[in-house]
Each structure stands twice: as C-alpha cells, then as structure tokens.
Amino acid sequence: MTGSLVVVGTGPGKAELMTPATSAALARATDLVGYGPYLDRIPATAGQCRHASDNRVELDRARHALSLAASGKQVAVVSGGDPGVFAMAAAVFEAVEAGDPAWRMLDIKVEPGVTAMLAAAAEVGAPLGGDFCAISLSDNLKAWTTIERRLSAAAEADFVIALYNPASKARPRQLGEALALLRAKKKPETPVLFIRAAGTSEAKVVSTTLGAADASTADMRTLVIIGASTTRQVGRWIYTPRGERGIS
C-alpha cells in the first residue's frame, strides 16, 4: 500500500468550524499525529492509531509522520486553526527538505482551515477589512530582534497587526515590549483588541486602546489585534475600511 500524508487544521475550537474536507481527511487516516490537546478534539475512530506529542517538538512530530507515511500509512498531521499559519505544514516541509530524499516522492497535501486571527476578527466585526499582517511574538524559532524589526515595519506601514503567541509562562515580557515599541510609532487612541478563545463558547473580548492596553490581559489562548489609523468603531463593532477613504 502506498502511504500518504495530509496536514489539517481543526479550526479555532467549535466543531462546526472544522472544514468538511478536513473531517473527510481525518476519517480516511489510519494514523493521526499531533499535539495532544488538538488530537483530543477529534472523535475516536475504530482502528485508528493516535500519536500524541508535546507542543515543542514540531520537527520530531513531522519526521515521525513522514516515516509512518513512507511505511504505507495514511497519515493526518493535526494542527489547530489553519495548518499553514504558524503551524505544522511548514514543519512538515522543513522535515522533507532536510530528511530522507524518498520523502519528497510522498503524496503530501495540506487542507486549509480557519486560523485564529480570522475567528478572532469575526468576534468583533471586521478589523482585518483592510491591509493587515500577522506576526508571532514567540522567539523560540527566531530572534527577538527580528520580531522587533517586523513590528516596526508593520507599524510604519500602518498595517492592522494580528499578534499570535503573545504570552506564555516562559515568555512573560514579549507582549509588553511589543506594545511599548508600537506606542512609539502609533497614536495612543489606536484600537487594541484582546480576543481570548476565539471561535469557542468561551470567547471573550477586551476592547481598549494602545495607550491603555495592559499586556497582562493576554495569555497563549489570546490573539491580539492592533488597529491601523483607519480602524473604526461603530456601535459595538470594530472594522477597518477597505481603503484609505473608507466606504466607496
């Protein structure tokens, strides 16, 4: 039997936000590989093997999945959100590039999912309606100086900025430093949104401004959105017009 590997994202939390294509890929798989809490979201299927691992071993997880596929298994690598956004798809291809040349001949596919910033934006309106960018504040795989450079460039270009991985017990200082950097480049009244557990029944939104934003509001389940100069509030909704002049 020829093996295959598909990288999927379970979406932000609610089962109905998992795409039908992802559900079908999971049902076909003989083996599921992923971070334990993400695998826990998936109903058990008779005869299906699960290979759970810690959140900090992405490359090891990818290599294991590729080895299983090379042995003839139908493997699904499971991420949360979208697998191509700060998630497992890049780790799989990194492992392919540096690993067994035979892995390049495997049937590998990526199924798109609903990433955290899209779910978070939907909780508050349309803050990503204009130009935006996404930056991870995790410096596990890149230098903090690189993150600072990208934050500065995004602020100067007046993008809406979606901040992934804003805080953790191991990285308590990053968001505070990021907010301080942005305060030096953007107006204090710039809208800031802390959206925790977006796309779940536990979703919570804190709406504030850059001048008043408190970094301690965020944890690893929080996505932070920093508005652009054009980002506006209408009633309880926050949105960014598609152009500099707003509605056309």
| C-alpha to C-alpha distance for 20 and 179, rounded to whole angstroms | 38
Assess contact for 84 and 112: CB atoms under 8 A: yes
Both tokens of residue 148? Answer: 């600072």
Judge contact between 129 and 227, C-beta under 8 A.
Answer: no
Per-10-residue mean pLDDT, the chain, length 248:
92 92 96 93 90 88 97 96 95 97 97 96 97 94 95 98 90 92 97 96 95 94 96 95 69
Q: All domains of the chain, ordered by start, with CATH?
A: 4-114 (3.40.1010.10), 117-239 (3.30.950.10)
Q: Residue type at 145?
A: T
- Rounded to two decimals, the pTM is 0.91
What local confidence, expressed as pLDDT, does residue 11 receive? 93
Predicted confidence at residue 248, as pLDDT, reads: 45
Rounded Cα distance, 56 and 94, in Å: 15
